[in-house]
Amino acid sequence: MAGTPPGEEQTMRSSALPDEAEARAALVLSLRRQGVGARDVLSAIERVPRRLFLPARHHSLAYEDVTLPIECGQTVSSPSLVAFTAQALDVSPEHALLEIGTGSGYQSAVLAHLTERVETVDRFATLADLARRRFAALKLDNVTARQGDGFEGLKQKGPFDRIVVTAAIPSVPDNWVQQLKPGGILIAPVGQSMQPQSLIRFVKTESVMTAETLMPVRTVMLQPGVAQRL
Ligand code: SAH
């Protein structure tokens, strides 16, 4: 944003700037045109200042529908991917939701407007810390970020009504299936590195997981284990 000093302090400041509110409203309009119809999702997108989740050098692009680089060499998903995913998750206010791959925390913050409890894990301690500070700045007290290996899920806080994964996996680990309630929904990008992947919605029935392809995606693979540095 022109004329604003760079730095973390600026990132943390609340964002009631009128041009920012306009930019967010324009983003919501564009998501509606792209087919996002769920009002609660659009309202959540409108309420979350994405700028707060970005390094200062990318503030001017905060409300463009693009993927952007964040700390630890990771990326924040595009608002349309966040919105389509949130819509397909069919979240209700009483749901407990687990997000695997916190990244900036932006998607977690959007989801925290849709449901009672969001738990999010990232393999980088730095990303979990930054996300926690952002949630505190926004007074979002129903979302908790922690460092952890997403392949393990988060057994101590489960089972979950919804699980959403933000990095790709070749197949769904058993831990996630076990931590999902019957009737629960899991959305994850499935595929191999450097190849086209599919965003898949799984529904846990009595005996099997049914799978439905939502859209093609291209994202980084979920990496094994917690990061030793950062
Ligand atoms: N939804 C995020 C984007 C996340 S990008 C946002 O809104 O910003 C994918 C994230 O998955 C990265 O932050 C990466 O560190 C994390 N990740 C990769 N492997 C992981 C693992 N095994 N456990 C937890 N997080 C992991």
Alpha-carbon distance values, 114 to 42, 59, 210 (Å): 10, 25, 24
pLDDT at 3: 40
> Ligand 1 test: best mutation among 52, 98, 129, 166, most atoms within 8 Å of CB?
166
Query: The tokens of 126 are what?
Result: 């730095």
pLDDT at 18: 66
| Ligand 1 atom nearest to CA at 72 | 15
Q: What is the pLDDT of residues 4-53, one digit of tens each?
A: 444 444 444 444 566 888 999 999 999 999 999 999 999 999 999 999 99
Global pTM reads 0.92
State the residue for tokens 């060499």. 73
Looking at the DSSP bridge assignments, the partners of residue 78 are: none
pLDDT at 8: 43
- Which residues of the chain have a pLDDT value below 50? 1-15
* Ligand 1 close to Cβ of residue 106 (< 6 A): yes
* Ligand 1 close to Cβ of residue 122 (< 6 A): yes
Nearest CA to ligand 1 atom 12: 103
| Ligand 1 atom nearest to CA at 107 | 7
| Ligand 1 atom nearest to CA at 108 | 7
Q: What is the dihedral of CA 112, 160, 120, 196, to 10 degrees?
A: -100
Print the SS3 string covering the chain. CCCCCCCHHHHHCCCCCHHHHHHHHHHHHHHHHCCCCCHHHHHHHHHCCHHHHCCHHHHHHCCCCCCEECHHHCEECCHHHHHHHHHHHCCCCCCEEEEECCCCCHHHHHHHCCCCEEEEEECCHHHHHHHHHHHHHCCCCCEEEEECCHHHCCHHHCCEEEEEECCEECCCCHHHHHHEEEEEEEEEEECCCCCCEEEEEEEECCCCEEEEEEEEECCCECCCCCCCCC
* CATH architecture assignment, domain 8-217: 3-Layer(aba) Sandwich (3.40)
| Ligand 1 atom nearest to CA at 227 | 15
User: Cα–Cα distance between 23 and 11 in angstroms, integer?
Assistant: 17
* Ligand 1 close to Cβ of residue 81 (< 6 A): no
User: Cα–Cα distance between 44 and 83 in angstroms, integer?
Assistant: 9
Distance 110 CA to ligand 1 centre (A): 16
pLDDT at 229: 81
Distance 163 CA to ligand 1 centre (A): 13
In the residue annotation, 77 being an active-site residue is answered as yes
pLDDT at 12: 45
* Ligand 1 close to Cβ of residue 161 (< 6 A): no
Query: The tokens of 153 are what?
Result: 């899920």
The active-site residue out of 15, 77, 80, 108 is 77
* Ligand 1 close to Cβ of residue 219 (< 6 A): no
Going across the sheet that includes 117-122, the strands are 143-147, 117-122, 96-100, 160-165, 180-190, 197-204, 209-217
Nearest CA to ligand 1 atom 13: 103
